[in-house]
Chain A
Amino acid sequence: MSTPTKVAARRPLSPRKRAQRIRAVQYAVLIAIVVIAIFAADWKQIGEVFFKPDLIKTTITQGLGRALLNTIVYTAGAFVFGLVVGTVLAVMRLSEIGPYRWIATAYIEFFRGLPALIVFLMFSLMPLAFPTLRIPYDPYGTVWLALGIVASAYMAETIRGGIQAVHKGQAEAARSLGMTSGQAMRKVILPQAFRTMLPPLTNELILLVKDSSLVYIIGLAATQAELTKYGRDLSVQYANMTPLVVAGAAYLIITLPLSVVVRRMEASAGKAR
């Protein structure tokens, strides 16, 4: 057993040893950076501005729960709106009737190409441009509409992909049993399409949670504020970043579990394949 070891030692370096050495260098660089950061940064100042304990407490107790709830309600409503309108758009894009396809394509390309901020700015100016216009459940209705319109354009493409991924034999089996094309779509194709779309749709939900921060542009009362507006207002008031840090952490409370769910679903879908 001693001969092969000697032979290996005489060679330049085995691939395994080389890999070990490269890894050691990478760790050394990382440790050096961390050590420099620890000694170079003014930690007292940073703690004071970003993590001030009494301000953390104020932010949490003054209405963080309400802001978190508003973020969830805005996002959930927009997601449902986006899902319904997105499904309609997806089916329109697959329609045999040209004008339906064109309208859906135009809508999708328009709202996907536009910064979401522009859409929100337009909705914020609605009352000025159309003094008689009343959107029901204000401001929730306005937020759901603005956020939902943007979401539906993205979701439509995901849903269309999901529908097209369902094997063509499924529709044929449904039709051969006498189902109309609408029944086949509702009972056979969409349920399967949504199953494969669950991971990408959850990803879109995560994006939507973050996009909901843009709604402060529409102009909300204090009790209607979502996390970003809530954190920003307090940060301005106290001239300190801590409330925004707390608000950011609150977003992570929503988005991190969703990310984990997506990973799980993708892993189990990979196994099933």
Chain B
Amino acid sequence: MPENLVEIKELHKSFGDNHVLRGIDFKVAQGEVVCVIGPSGSGKSTLLRCVNLLEVPSSGTVLVAGEDLTDPDGNIDAARRHIGMVFQSFNLFPHHTAISNCMLAQQTVLKRGKKDARKVAAENLDRVGLTDKHDAYPAKLSGGQQQRVAIARALSMEPNLMLFDEPTSALDPELVGEVLTVMRRLAEEGMTMLVVTHEMAFAREVADRVVFMDGGVIVEQGTPDEVIGNPQEARTKEFLRRVLDPTHVNPS
């Protein structure tokens, strides 16, 4: 296994004339937790979606576990099996119960038998604290519970990398904690994680490294203490002031 689980080189992405990612170089080591922060529209989601090729990069390479995902002859479906993704809007399958949300891809993609799939799904639902919700449909669950099912669904594929795109941004404030707790536990267990978030407390405590993005480039990166505690770049300082002290922002 290569030391760097994710290796992105000279990544560019444009939507028409909109040049969103303007040359991203960046690595994630095995077992590392990286939080990506930055203003809205800076290209954080696009970067994350390029890592599992939900967006096709305009140029550059994306290596995950040594495999070049941008290789046009590669099997992207096979590569995605080992990259879990958690979305801001949960995206659970509404016509399946919690446990069957966690079983579907195991059965169709990994060709696991129903019994094995159910066992793995149940273990992962227990892991995110939803032992009593196996048979509930998503509509009957709170946002925090839905997001935890989504995490269990991704974990059921036994990924070696987890991508989180603002996993708590759609949640009521009192439900944020239960999701962050699950993520923190996952990080402690050694999962490699790439997390786009506005939760600065989480980034400070859990991240090994924080990356600040603005205007489609990485402006600054380092340990949480360096980037959040003692930012060097003016843009980082400005962003952190807006996020950490929102009631004193000058609207202009």
Q: Is B105 in the interface zone, CB < 8 Å from A?
A: yes
**B91/A187 in contact, CB under 8 A:** no
Question: Which residue of B54, B84, B157 is within 8 Å of A175 (Cβ)?
Answer: B54
Separation of A175 and B76 alpha carbons in the complex (Å): 10
Q: Please give the distance in Å from B97's CB to the nearest CB on chain A.
A: 14
**Smallest distance from the beta carbon of A107 to chain B beta carbons, Å?**
30
Residues B84-124 near A (CB distance < 8 A): 84-85, 87, 89, 91-95, 104-105, 108-110
Neighbouring A residues of B194 by C-beta, 8 Å: none
Complexed CA–CA distance, A195 and B77 (Å): 27
Name the contact of A192 in the complex, choosing from B87, B95, B108, B157 (C-beta under 8 A): B95
Complex CA distance for A174 and B150, rounded to whole angstroms: 11
Q: Which residues of A are found within 8 Å of B157, using beta-carbon distances?
A: 177-178
Contacts known (A172-B54, A187-B104); A178 close to B109, Cβ less than 8 A: yes
Contact indicator B91/A173 (Cβ below 8 Å) = yes
Most chain A beta carbons < 10 A, residue from B52, B94, B108, B154: B108
Within 8 Å of chain A (Cβ to Cβ): is B81?
yes
Q: B50 at interface (Cβ–Cβ under 8 A)?
A: no
Chain A residues near B104 (CB, 8 Å)? 177, 187-188
Roughly how many angstroms separate A170 CA and B153 CA in the complex, as a whole number? Answer: 13
* Contact of A183 with B109 in the complex, beta carbons under 8 Å: yes
User: Chain A, interface size: which category?
Assistant: 10 to 19
Which residues of A in the span 167-223 have a Cβ within 8 Å of any Cβ on B?
167, 169-170, 172-180, 183, 187-188, 191-192, 195
B87 touches A187 (CB 8 A): no
Chain A residues in 8 Å Cβ range of B154: 176-177
CB neighbours (8 Å) of B150 from chain A are 173
Q: Is the CB of A169 within 8 A of B109?
A: no
Among A167, A178, A179, A183, residue most surrounded by chain B Cβ atoms (within 10 Å): A178
Q: Does A179 contact B91, Cβ atoms closer than 8 Å?
A: no
Q: Which of A167, A172, A176, A183 contacts B108 (CB 8 A)?
A: A183
Q: How long is the Cα–Cα vector from A173 to B52 in the complex, in angstroms? A: 11
How many angstroms between the C-alpha atoms of A63 and B144 in the bound complex?
62
Q: Does B83 contact A (CB under 8 A)?
A: yes
Contact B80 A178 (CB under 8 A): yes
Known A170-B93, A187-B104, A191-B95; judge A180-B87 contact (CB<8 A). no
B1 lies within 8 A of chain A by Cβ: no
Taking a contact as CB atoms under 8 Å apart, the answer to whether A172 and B77 are in contact is no
Contacts of A191 in B (CB 8 A): 95
Q: Given A173, A178, A183, A188, which contacts B87 in the complex, CB threshold below 8 Å?
A: A173
Of all chain B residues, which has the CB nearest A172? B54
CB contact between B80 and one of A175, A187, A188 (< 8 Å): that residue: A175
A176 and B54 form a contact (CB under 8 A): yes
Q: Which residue on A lies nearest to B85, using beta carbons?
A: A176
- Tally of contacts, chain A with chain B, CB under 8 A: 60
The complex places the Cα of A187 from the Cα of B110 at a distance, in Å, of 14
Known contacts A174-B105, A187-B108; decide if A180 and B77 are in contact (CB<8 Å).
Answer: yes
Please give, as numbers and ranges, the residues of chain A lying within 8 Å of B84 by CB-CB distance. Answer: 176
Q: How far, in angstroms, from A180 to B108 measured CA to CA in the complex? A: 9
A187 to B104 alpha-carbon distance, docked (Å): 8
> Hey, which chain A residues are within 8 Å of B91, CB to CB?
167, 169-170, 172-173
A179–B108 contact, CB under 8 A?
Answer: yes
Q: Report how far A173 CA is from B149 CA in the complex, Å.
A: 13
- Smallest distance from the beta carbon of A176 to chain B beta carbons, Å? 4
B89 lies within 8 A of A176 (CB): no
Are B78 and A178 closer than 8 Å at their CB atoms? yes
Q: Which A residues lie within 8 Å of B81 (CB)?
A: 177-178
State the CA gap A180–B111 with chains docked (Å).
Answer: 13
Is there contact, CB below 8 Å, between B93 and A173?
yes
B148-182 to A contact mask, C-beta < 8 Å, 1/0: 00100110010000000000000000000000000
In Å, the complex CA distance between A143 and B225 comes to 75
Residues of A within 8 A of B108 (CB): 179, 183, 187
**A192: which B residues are within 8 A, CB to CB?**
93-95
Query: What are the residues of chain A within 8 A of B89 when measuring CB–CB?
Result: 169
Would A178 and B105 be within 8 Å (CB), given that A169-B87, A169-B89, A172-B87 are in contact?
Answer: yes
User: Contact partner of B105 among A167, A169, A179, A195, CB < 8 A?
Assistant: A179
B-contact bits for A12-34, CB 8 A (1 contact / 0 none): 00000000000000000000000
Closest 8 CB pairs of A and B: A178-B81, A177-B105, A173-B91, A176-B85, A169-B91, A178-B109, A178-B80, A183-B108
User: In the complex, given contacts A173-B93, A178-B157, what are 16 additional A-B residue pairs having Cβ atoms less than 8 angstroms apart?
Assistant: A169-B91, A170-B91, A172-B54, A172-B91, A174-B93, A175-B77, A176-B54, A176-B85, A177-B104, A177-B109, A177-B153, A178-B105, A179-B109, A191-B95, A192-B95, A195-B95
6 sample A-B contacts, Cβ–Cβ < 8 Å, listed by A number: A173-B91, A175-B54, A179-B105, A187-B108, A191-B95, A195-B95
